[in-house]
Structure 1
Amino acid sequence: MTNKEKALALINTFVTGDVAKAKELLAEDYIQHNLAYGTGAEAFVGAVTYLASAPVKTTVENIRAFEDGDKVFLQTVYNFAGTGEQVAFDIFRFDSEGKIAEHWDNLAPKAEPNPSGHTQTDGTLEKKNVDKEETRKIVSEFVGDVLRGENPDKLTSYFDGDKYIQHNISIADGLSGLGAALEALAKQGIQMIYNKTYFVLADGDFALAVSEGTFGGVLTSYYDLFRVENGKIAEHWDIMESIADEATWQNKNGKF
């Protein structure tokens, strides 16, 4: 199995309840960064066992799957034991033995289409086999210059005019849509701040940036997936998740 196939097999154990498969795929010292769960392989297996015993079956629909070095990153729609559909980005790190050794994620409830009629998961599915390092470079520079605000005057240079497909639940297409949304937030006194970026993972013309910041003063984890076309940012999907108070964490590994 490829690492991508292993990652998909692992999340599918939430549906099948296959504890043996989960144990086979996981490193014993598996590190969990989802703060609602304990760390270690046994904690993951416990979650699989619990979901298998739930009266409502869990569903898992993977939308996109990518691979970059020792990491696989996925975009998936989950419904854990009938609690409601959630859109998620998952990142899995593999160790030298091909076991899944570490996991990060961001989740948000599935929402209605945005002002341009796009959902959190629709849009371009096909990955182009272009130079991922060029994709990573463009996205890394955009995240720094624009999202972290290091060179905001470069904003328009990253886009082909107003051509920009937006999957954020509240924002319309184009730079015009982004500008209108930011203006509306400013009128409400809400600031969206990116302070630090931990990963920019790339595969073909797609790249996922994982950042920490605040939204309206609340500590927030930002996962932003971009598609690059002809050297410009062409499409964007994201998940924002408020970071829980440390007193509630079920592990001490931190969100990042």
Structure 2
Amino acid sequence: MRKLFIITVLTIASFVSCEADNNLKMEVSNKQKVIELLKSIETGDQELVGYINPNKYIQHNQAVGDGLAGFGALLQQLPEGSVRVNTMRVFSDGDYVIAHTDYNFFGPKIGIDVFRFEDGLIVEHWDNLQEKVTETASGRSQVDGPAEIKDLDKTEDNKALIQNLLNDIFLGANPDKITEYISIEQYNQHNPGVKDGLAGLGEALAALAEAGMPMVYEKKHMILGEGNYVLSISEGIFMKEKVAFYDIFRLENGKVVEHWDTIENLIPESEAKNSNGKFNF
């Protein structure tokens, strides 16, 4: 089944039925398209590749070639029957859909994917993948917790709060303001190396700094959100390596109460399989 799916991906890269595209666009929400497309990597359902624009698919995963041909080539490398896909939460911001997924994809991984749509079809993809950890400092997994989207009327306020959190705390402009952004009563942590609460965060950051490997945010690239969920995409240094930071925050009553993330090393441009850049929103 998966071999047929791969052949279909490569075929659709050069041909697609306009009528089928129109039917797909009209019947399914963009969020559902993302959920179904990701699951099709596991199930081999070739029809769902029709959610991707075959003439314009810009790939920002630097380990994958551009376009549908690059996607198909990646699938060919996967061991038969090895893929598992369990998307835990999905939210959107305009033409962007964000998916937080528990994968078995060349081994157990946690992924945060961002897809951009035009006219109902996916035209661009970014992601950040991190190895899955079974034992975490908080006892929480990297993906469990709430997924319900609420407070749609607070979307812009919540995005602005995360923008200020990045500036003041992560980028260091006003670190003493941390309690203005993160709740002192509840801060559920899903980063595998950090305990719950502000004390747990401070302890983890202090340990890294003492070891001569501080976590440093250097530049923010994008903030996307819907209701009580906000994703920030940044770059910086972790464990003395250049990395991409994808942070998902859940907010209640104007404060961050939960945090999930993925951290992935950046691939040197000379080794990248496409020229689109890791970020470039």
TM-score range normalised by the length of the shorter chain: over 0.9
Letter in 1 for 2:69: E
1:155-194: CA deviation from partner (whole Å, max 9, x where unpaired): 1221332521111101111111111111111110112111
Aligned to 1:188: 211
TM-score by length of 2: 0.84
Alpha-carbon distance in 2 for matches of 1:254, 1:240: 17
Q: Aligned to 1:122, what secondary structure does the other structure show?
A: coil
**Following superposition of structure 1 onto structure 2, how do residues 171-250 of structure 1 map, counting pairs within 5 Å?**
171-250=194-273
1:85 aligned partner: 108
Aligned to 2:101: 76
- 2:84 counterpart of 1:59: yes
Q: Which amino acid aligns with 1:254?
A: G
**Counterpart residue number, 1:13:** 40
Question: Is the CA contact 1:17–1:49 (under 8 Å) kept in the aligned structure 2?
Answer: no
Within a 5 Å distance, the mapping from 1:2-151 to structure 2 comes to 2-48=29-75, 51=78, 54-80=79-105, 83-95=106-118, 97-130=119-152, 131-151=154-174
Amino acid at match of 2:102: V
Q: Do the aligned residues in 1 keep the contact of 2:51 with 2:122 (CA within 8 Å)?
A: no
Q: Take 1:186 and 1:78, find their aligned partners in 2: how far apart are those partners?
A: 31
Once the 2 structures are TM-superposed, how far is the Cα of residue 234 of structure 1 from its aligned partner?
0.5
Return structure 1 stretches of 4+ with deviation > 3 angstroms. Answer: 45-51
**Change beyond 3 A, Cα 1:216–1:48:** closer
Alpha-carbon displacement from aligned partner over 1:82-139 (angstroms, at most 9, x marks no partner): x3211000000011x2110100000011102322211101122222133211111111
In structure 2, how many angstroms separate the alpha carbons of the residues matched to 1:102 and 1:186? 37
CA distance in 1, matches of 2:220, 2:54: 26
Displacement of 1:49 in angstroms is: 5.2
Q: TM-score, normalised by structure 1?
A: 0.92
Contact 2:100–2:111, Cα closer than 8 Å, also in 1: yes
Structure 2: unaligned runs, 5 residues or longer: 1-27
Q: Secondary structure of the equivalent of 1:26?
A: coil
Going from structure 1 to structure 2, the CA distance change for 1:24 and 1:240 (only over 3 Å counts) comes to closer
Contact 1:18-1:48 at 8 Å conserved across structures? no
The structure with the greater share of residues assigned to strand is 1
Q: How has the CA–CA distance of structure 1 residues 115 and 216 changed in structure 2, closer, same or farther, with 3 Å as cutoff?
A: closer
Contact 1:19 1:48 in 2 (8 A): no
What percentage of aligned pairs have identical amino acids?
Answer: 41
Q: What is the RMSD computed on CA atoms of the aligned residues? A: 1.6
Task: Count matched residues.
Answer: 251
CA distance in 2, matches of 1:162, 1:113: 24
| Cα separation, 2, equivalents of 1:106 and 1:193 | 17
Q: Displacement, 1:221?
A: 0.1
